[in-house]
């Protein structure tokens, strides 16, 4: 079963459910006149499916399919789960993993969790890319675990330095859209 990607439907859902205007302080500490609460669509049945289909489409067009996808807990978890679910519907053997902010102090003490092994190829997923800090921490943890990170896919790029930050760690940033798709110029 192939799940088609409808970019226009994703943009409409982002516009209606995620984009808020006002005065906000971002995770990066920067001030902004708009906020993108992507949890409202990553945890939405239609949004989760659109994001998964879009990110799978990017992966299919970017060369060999990676072994797994994942990112920083908690933000990337619903994205990862949606991608793995849609991949399963499409009979793709793509697995998921999560990166904890820090290694557990109990159990196995892992920072990277899931059915992944050192040497496997992976893609890091993220919702909103501003400076790239959270996704870069996930990249570093994945690399320390021994995973081969191919690139990063975000839902939306605020065009605030994320691409440049990923270039510094030898990675390409791919996104489903940018803030310009909503007629907003970078701040």
Q: Which residues are annotated as a binding site for orotate?
A: 130, 158
Annotated binding site: 100-101, 104, 106, 126-134, 158
Q: 89-114: buried (b, 16+ CB within 10 Å) or exposed (e) per residue?
A: eeeeebbbbbbeeeeeeeeeeebbbb
Annotated binding site for 5-phospho-alpha-D-ribose 1-diphosphate: 100-101, 104, 106, 126-134
3-state secondary structure the chain: CCCCCCHHHHHHHHHHHHEEEEEEECCCCCEEEEEECCHHHHCCHHHHHHHHHHHHHHHHHCCCCCCEEEEECCCCHHHHHHHHHHHHHCCCCCEEEEECCCCCCCCCCCCEECCCCCCCEEEEEEEEECCCHHHHHHHHHHHHHCCEEEEEEEEEECCCCHHHHHHHCCCCEEEEEEHHHHCCCCC
């Amino acid at each position: 079963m192939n799940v088609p990607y409808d970019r226009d439907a994703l943009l409409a859902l982002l516009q209606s459910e995620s984009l808020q205007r006002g005065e906000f302080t971002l995770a990066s500490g920067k001030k902004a006149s708009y906020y993108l609460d992507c949890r409202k669509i990553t945890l939405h049945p239609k949004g989760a499916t659109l994001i998964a289909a879009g990110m799978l489409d990017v992966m299919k067009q970017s060369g060999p399919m990676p072994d797994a996808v994942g990112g920083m807990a908690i933000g990337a978890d619903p994205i990862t789960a949606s991608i793995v679910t849609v991949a399963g519907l499409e009979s793709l053997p793509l697995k998921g993993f999560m990166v904890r902010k820090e290694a557990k102090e109990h159990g196995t003490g892992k920072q990277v969790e899931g059915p992944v092994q050192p040497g496997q190829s992976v893609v890091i997923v993220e919702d909103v890319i501003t400076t790239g800090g959270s996704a870069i921490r996930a990249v570093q943890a994945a690399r320390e675990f021994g995973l081969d990170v191919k690139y990063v896919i975000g839902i939306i790029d605020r065009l605030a330095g994320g691409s440049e930050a990923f270039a510094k760690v030898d990675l390409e940033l791919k996104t489903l859209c940018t803030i310009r798709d909503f007629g907003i110029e970078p701040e």
